A and B are shown apart, each in its own frame.
Chain A
Amino acid sequence: MRHNKWSLLVLAMILGLVLVACSSGSDSTEEEEKILNIAERSDIPTMDPIMTEDNVSTQWIDTVYEGLYRQAPGGEIVSGIAKMEETEVSEDGLTYTFHLREDAEWENGDPVTAQDFVYGWQRATNPDNGSFYGNYLMSGKIKNSEAIFAGEMDPEELGVSAPDDNTFVVELETPVAYFDSYVTNANFLPVHQEFLEEQGDDFSLSPDSILSNGPFKMTEWKSEEGWTVEKNESYWDAENVALDGISVKVIKDSDTQLSNYEVGDLDRVSLSGSQVSDNQTSPDYHSLTESSVFWLKMNQESVENSEYMENLNFRKALAKAFDNEAYVDVVYGNDSEPVDYFVPSNFVEHPETGEDFQTGNEELSYDVEAAQEYWEAAKEELGFDEVTLSFLSQDDDVAKNISEFMKTELEKNLEGLSIEANNVPWSRQLELMREKEYDLAVSGWGPDYKDAISFVDLWVTDGENNDVGYSNEEYDEIVKAVKGELANDPVARFEAMQEAEKIALEDAVISPIMQRKTSVLYKGNVKGLDQLNPYGNNYSYKYVDIE
């Protein structure tokens, strides 16, 4: 009898478990709605437009807000709150007058006015708010922004004004040839002042403290679990937003993401490591080109070895001595493109011919024989037989593979060279690079707007990001012209930047390695995820559809 009781209890427990498992199936009403189910690897660090510094925040701020213009798939800039075809630009390229659409509304029904843009931009430059990207993007470009950031002027003196509710005027300090893509950045979004002041310190911390004016509005946000956005019916272009909503889960583990995709809980998933080769034959597999380029940095102002690193033959030998195709295979094993340039391809096009920025350059391509000739020349010029260089890298597994690969390749091909790996945490690597306490390092760059200057500007003498100690007067002159007198001559400007890249490669400033690609799986009925935006947010969900 006692045994029977136990058996019944166990049976009841098993039945209960099976029933609960069966009841966890999907809700049939959801199937009628177009809900995109996706995952992100981290929670959203901030939904405050001026505080965004990372991909996740940028993506979701862009999804619930709209600025003057926005990116359509593939990076095409289209009208947002401002009507693009009506924008007036002064002859000197220093004043932009935007005309805002009258039917643009905030989620609460209030109209989106020019004053909302004035307030939003002033807020981004106010040093008390600590916006890193606001200052990074606006300083030296928007009139008075640099002085405001330095605390020498009030934010109200920023070169922006609202003559009336639907006219927004921007004054620049220098022509910005890429202004259209520039203003799509999250730091240039409007802000509803009254709403923000009501929320105080809670602004943007929960769906209730976010006021949308974009294609979607946030309806749920559970820290570290996920969030949902729903179509914003008060958005001026709501009729062209196909999705009813997007449900996002935070899943840090890539295998878990893939498992969720396999059981149908996700519509799109990014692949990493061996997942790429395992899924390459799947009809859902796609390889999407990014605009991020990675390169080997060769620090000419190295504290330890500047006497060697300053030598052009020495740098060219290093630059040509490693096989970047093998690098991509060994380190990433995906479709990333081995490259011989540092301005990405499929990023910007010639203003007249439409030809890609990259027309071919083999100056620093892999060539062991040539590398050894440069190496012998450097040995003769510098009078050394053996030399030891440090290779700075992060301390994660991928970075350790990178340093191991580079050490093997360079030591194998250049006789007398020894590489000492220095693996440190990422924040420390950045610190050491800024202090120029390294010889070699692998690093990359992603653009902030759709213009080659985002890359070309990196190597000007004493530039903020020039941590390789490069200096070339001719190069500096070209970049200066690109930012100044050529700013209103798109063709000459474009060709000047091509020339600048050629000079930098001839001088072996860095040695290009690869342009990154992202491998993804997405369901065949999901449309609009087939390409990544070249900068800013990865996808424009406004244009995504489920068929």
Chain B
Amino acid sequence: MVKYIFQRIIYMVITLFIIATATFFLMKLLPGSPFNDLGGKMTEAQEQLLMEKYGLDEPVPVQYAKYMAGMVQGDLGVSFQYDNRSVTDIILSRLGPSAHLGAQALIIGSLLGIILGMTAAIRHNTWWDYTSNVLAVIGISIPSFVFAGLLQYYLAVQWRLFPVSFWEGPIYTVLPTIALMIFPMAICARFMRSEMLEVLGSDYIELARAKGVSNNTIMFKHALRNALIPVITVLGPMTVSLMTGTLVIEQIFAVPGIGEQFVRSINTNDYPVIMGTTMLFSVMFIVVILIVDLLYGLIDPRIRITGGKD
């Protein structure tokens, strides 16, 4: 296990190095410069001065070497758009709300989805099942920003039950969490239902029933455990996308998250912020994949994470 994790960490470092290198050179292909977004008022001489200040007048390989050296030491540089603010500070201040909101939506959404899917499977072909299916289809097919708009309009503007937007306390997280959790809830419900149906129809469940094992034990110890594996597979990438912010929901509820920052940094050619956020997303993605792989082994010991003779 330790050896496996160690190996995976080495692969992760190599992957991150490749991502950083590819992003750096691709970023340089972006049209325009970070300093010409001033309504055309900047002269070439003035732009040159800024290029020198930020080291952008040096050959690209030199810039690359300097950037990588800085990154290894934990220095992601300063933003071009936010005067003198370090990229690390920008990322840390905006990651918090995104991660908070994402985690909240993911946990509540996936738990509700699992419950909904299980209920649908256990009460197959009853109105529980039909309702669950309809909810899942609605959740998957209608974009979250539609729910966000409806929630905001009815619960905040019309009925005044919740604040319209902002990020000032637990109550402010309710509407964006609901809007964000509907999709993971629907996905989990769909997967859970179909997997549970398959598991419940399998021979070993029949055997357990024949042996007189209690219904609760069958459901939670045998069926749920096996049905969770595909759910965990889809939850992996969903975790990253939810925790790193969803641009539209953040905008609608004025959440100071990182999703919007990433898009803006690309639009304004803010190279250090593009690199910083890309690396953050990459690290999170790779770590989540590792966690998912480890969870497989924990949930179903038949899945050997190390493979081979171990």
Contact = CB atoms under 8 A, between A and B. Distances in A.
Contacts of A446: 39
B136 to A, nearest CB: 22
Main secondary structure, interface of B, reads: loop
A21 B162 contact: yes
A527 interface: no
A226 B46 CA distance: 31
A465 B46 CA distance: 13
A193 to B, nearest CB: 18
A427 B171 contact: no
B40 A443 contact: yes
A417 B111 CA distance: 62
B256 to A, nearest CB: 3
A48 B157 contact: no
Interface in A173-215: 201, 203-205
A256 B160 CA distance: 14
Contacts of A434: 36, 40, 44
A24 interface: yes
Nearest to A130: B53
B81 A259 contact: no
Interface string B255-277: 01100110000011100000000
Interface stretch (A27-35, A245-253, A399-407, A536-544): A245-253
A256 B254 contact: yes
B49 interface: yes
A256 B171 CA distance: 17
Interface stretch (B1-9, B14-22, B83-91, B188-196): B83-91
A502 B260 CA distance: 45
Contacts of B31: 424-425, 427-428, 431
A17 B174 contact: yes
Contact of B268 (A20, A46, A48, A427): A427
A136 B43 CA distance: 8
Contacts of B37: 426-427, 430
A464 to B, nearest CB: 5
Interface stretch (B148-156, B216-224, B229-237): B148-156
A530 interface: no
A427 B47 CA distance: 13
Contact of A433 (B40, B251, B252): B40
Main secondary structure, interface of A, reads: mixed
B299 interface: no
B212 interface: no
A262 B42 contact: no
Contacts of B174: 17
A255 B53 contact: no
A260 interface: yes
Contact of B42 (A136, A265, A425, A433): A136
**Which residue among A46, A256, A263 has the maximum number of chain B CB atoms within 10 Å of its CB?**
A256
A223 B81 contact: no
A252 B165 contact: no
A250 B132 CA distance: 38
B161 A21 contact: yes
B39 A204 contact: no
B50 interface: yes
A21 B171 contact: yes
A191 to B, nearest CB: 15
A127 interface: yes
Nearest to B257: A224
A205 B84 CA distance: 8
A427 B256 contact: no
B25 interface: no
A45 interface: yes
Interface in A399-448: 424-428, 430-431, 433-434, 443, 445-446
Interface of B: 31-44, 46, 49-50, 53, 81-85, 90, 93-94, 149, 152-153, 156-157, 160-167, 169-171, 174, 251-254, 256-257, 260-261, 267-269
Shortest Cβ-Cβ A-B pairs, 3 listed: A427-B32, A224-B256, A46-B83
Given A263-B160, A427-B33, A428-B32, 5 more contacts: A21-B171, A223-B94, A251-B165, A259-B157, A431-B32
